[in-house]
Structure 1
Amino acid sequence: MKKTFSLSLLLVTSAFINPCFAAGQHSFALSHYGAPSDTVTKATEFMAKRANELSQGRITIHLHPSNELGSLDTQIDAVRMGTIDIVVGGNPYYTGLNEELNLLDLPFLFQDTQHVAKVLNSQIGSELLNSLEKSGLKGLAFYEVGFRDLTNNKKQIKSVADLAHLKIRTTPNPAHIEAFRAWGANPTPMAFNEVYFSLKTGLIDGQENPIHQIWNNNFHETQKYLSLTHHAYTVAPMTMNLDRFNALDEEDQKILLQAAQDGAELEKKLNIEENKLNLEKLIQYGMEVEYTPDTASFQAGAKKAWDDYAKKFGDQVIQQIVGMK
C-alpha cells in the first residue's frame, strides 16, 4: 500500500519534476539516496555541471538527494515508468530485476579498489550494466557505495563468533542476507532511510556500511563499536529511463554518458579521501575500532553465498573475477 501510494504521488508530481522539453533542450530529474554531505551528492552535482557545460546549456539536471522522492525501490520503479529520469541506487536494489547482479555483492569477492576497477571496466562489468536494458533502464555508469564495515552497540566484532544473535540491518540482497545468517547473525533487511531510527530505538543492534556512510548518516551517534571487516563491496549503478535515453540524439547520449562517468570517477576519489578523514572523526567521537578482525573466520559463510550463486548461474564468472586480482 505504501509503495503504491508513493508511485501514485510520483505520477501526480511528474509534470513538475519532468518539464516539457523545448526544442533541443533537455531537463532531467536525478534522484539518489545520499545525504547532503555524502560523496554521491558531490559527484552527482559535478555530473550535472559537466553535462550542462558539455552540452553548452542544452542539458539541465535537477538533483533530488536523500531519498526525497521515495525509497530506492520506489525510485527505480519510477525511472522505469518515466516519472523520474535518472537514479543512483545500491546494486542490491536492482537485483530483483536481474538476479545475476547478485554476483557483485558476494562477500569477500573483491580484494581492493584496484580489483574492483578491473572488473567493472571489463566486459563482465559492461554486460551486467547493459543487462538492465531488459528492464527498461539504461546503465550510465557504476557509482559506488563502497567496501562495507560493521558497527553495533553490543560488543566488538573481532571474529565471526562475535556476530552470534546480533540483529544486523542488511541490504535486501540475498547474498548479504544468507552470508549474515551463515555467520550466526540475525539479518534484518530494511530501507536505508529507516536505519538511523531503528538503531536509535534498539530495533536493530547494528548495521554494515562504508565509513563515509556511517559518518554522513550519523550512525556513530547510536553505535559504540566499529569493525573494519570490508566484508563486501557495493556498486551503485546510475541508470536512466531507457526510452528517454534512446530519444536523445547521439551527441547528447555521449555527453550524458561522459558526464556520468566523470561523476563516478570523482566519487571514487572522494570516497578514498573521506573514508580516511571520517574514520578519524569516528574515533574522536568515541567509537572503538577493531582494525584487524579475523576475516578468515568469515570465509565459510562467504563460501556458502558463493555456492548458492553458482548453483543458479555457474561459477565461471566468479572464477574470472577472482583471476583478475
Structure 2
Amino acid sequence: MTISLFGKTFGTTMAALVVAMSVSSGAAAATTLRFAHPTPQNDLQHKLAEKFKEEVEAQSNGDLKVQIFPNGQLGNDAQMIDGARSGIIDITLSGLNNFTGMVPEAGAFELPFMFADSAAAYQALDGAPGQEVMDKLPALGLKGLAFPENGFREITNNRGPIREPADLKGLRMRVNNSITLNNMFERLGANPQQLPVAELYTALETGVVDAQDHPLGIVVSFNFNEVQKYLSITNHAYSALLMVMNQKRFDSLTPEQQQIVEKAAADATAMQRQMNGEQTEAMIKTLEDEGMKVNRDVDTAAFQQAIQPVWKTYIDQNGDEMIKSIQSVSDTEPRS
C-alpha cells in the first residue's frame, strides 16, 4: 500500500490534518471531535455523521463539537484508522474488513453468504459476536462505538449479467482487502485486483478492471453506473462498517459526555440502517433509470456450493469459534 492511495498525497493529507487540529485547538470553550470518513456527502455514511454531530452537540449543550471530514479528506481508510489509533483523528468510520488485519476473527462476518438478511447480521453484530470484536479494540488504542451498515454486496461489470459462478470467469475484478472476498473471486475464476475505492471509478472507466462489488449505496454515491453496464443482485456477502474513537480521547471525556457519544453513535447507526433498508429498491430503480441492466435471477445455491473452500480456508487460519458464535445468535445456517 502506498501513501498515494485514494488519490491523496501524503502532503495533502497532512495539510488537512494540520488544519483540522488548528480548528479544534481554537475552540477553547468546547471540546471538538474530528470525525473522518471515506464517502461523498451524498452517501448515507455522511448522513450518519451528520446525525451523530447533531445529537452530540445538542445533548452536550455545545460542550462537545463535532467536525466532519468526508470523502477521504484525511486520508484513505488505513490512514484514517491509523490516525484514530494515534489520536490525530478522534473518530472514524470504515468497513469492518479494514480492521481484520488487527482482528482476524472479524473476517467471519464477511464470509460469503454468512447472513440471509440484514436482520440476521444485526443479531450478530449487536450481540455477543460483535462484542467480541469490540473487546479487542482497546488494546489497539480504539474504542468501538457501533456497527453501521454498508450492506449486502452486489456485482457490477461491463460484460454481462452474473447469474451463476461461471459468469465470473476471467473478469478483472476489483476487490477490497478482505481476504475471504479475494479468495471467493479467485475461486470462482475471476482475476481479483485490490484497488482503493477512490481510484475505482477511473479504473473502471479506463478498463483497468472490468467489474467490482459493493453495496448499492456505494455504487450510487460514487456514480459507478456511469462506467458499468450490468448490476447483478447477488447478495454474496454482508459488509458491516465499524465506527471507532481514539480510546484516550474517549477516556478524557466526562462520564456524562461518554454516554452522550455512545448514545449518539447508537442512534445514528439505527437511523442509517433504517434508511439503507428503505432506500434499497429506490436505489435499484435509480440505477435502472440511468441505464444499468439489472438482473436478480442469481443461482444462489450454486454460488454457496462453489465457495465452500473459502469457508474452510478461513477456519484453517482462524478457527471456527467466531463462526459458531455468529450462528448461535443469528438465523444463519452453517455452510462450512
Band the TM-score falls in, shorter-chain normalisation = over 0.9
For 1:245 and 1:67, how far apart are their aligned partners in 2?
23
Task: Say whether 1:30 aligns with 2:35.
Answer: yes
Amino acid at match of 2:142: L
Equivalent positions of 1:1-325 (< 5 A) are 2=3, 5=10, 8-9=14-15, 12-13=18-19, 15-16=21-22, 18-19=24-25, 22=28, 25-323=30-328, 324-325=330-331
Aligned partner of residue 114 in structure 2, secondary structure: coil
Aligned partner of residue 151 in structure 2, secondary structure: strand
For 1:10 and 1:175, how far apart are their aligned partners in 2?
34
The alpha-carbon deviation at position 211 of structure 1 amounts to: 1.4
For 1:21 and 1:166, how far apart are their aligned partners in 2?
51
The alpha-carbon deviation at position 249 of structure 1 amounts to: 1.2
Aligned partner of residue 87 in structure 1, secondary structure: strand
The alpha-carbon deviation at position 20 of structure 1 amounts to: 5.7
CA shift in 2, pair 1:81/1:280, >3 Å: same
CA shift in 2, pair 1:40/1:8, >3 Å: closer
For 2:71 and 2:20, how far apart are their aligned partners in 1?
18
For 1:15 and 1:145, how far apart are their aligned partners in 2?
29
For 2:319 and 2:114, how far apart are their aligned partners in 1?
15
Amino acid at match of 2:25: P
Aligned partner of residue 278 in structure 1, secondary structure: helix
Q: TM-score, normalised by structure 1?
A: 0.95
CA shift in 2, pair 1:282/1:11, >3 Å: closer
For 2:284 and 2:302, how far apart are their aligned partners in 1?
24
Mean Cα deviation higher: 290-299 or 45-54: 290-299
Aligned partner of residue 236 in structure 2, secondary structure: strand
Amino acid at match of 2:73: E
CA shift in 2, pair 1:174/1:314, >3 Å: same
Aligned partner of residue 89 in structure 1, secondary structure: strand
Aligned partner of residue 18 in structure 1, secondary structure: helix
CA shift in 2, pair 1:170/1:248, >3 Å: same
> What residue ranges of structure 1 are gaps of 5+ in the alignment?
none
For 2:280 and 2:156, how far apart are their aligned partners in 1?
15
Mean Cα deviation higher: 209-218 or 249-258: 209-218
Kept in 1: contact 2:39–2:70 (CA 8 A): yes
Q: CA RMSD in A?
A: 1.7
Amino acid at match of 1:19: S
The alpha-carbon deviation at position 230 of structure 1 amounts to: 0.4
Kept in 2: contact 1:104–1:234 (CA 8 A): yes
Amino acid at match of 2:261: L
| Identical columns (%) | 34
For 1:109 and 1:195, how far apart are their aligned partners in 2?
26
Number of corresponding residues: 324
For 1:101 and 1:162, how far apart are their aligned partners in 2?
29
For 1:304 and 1:158, how far apart are their aligned partners in 2?
20
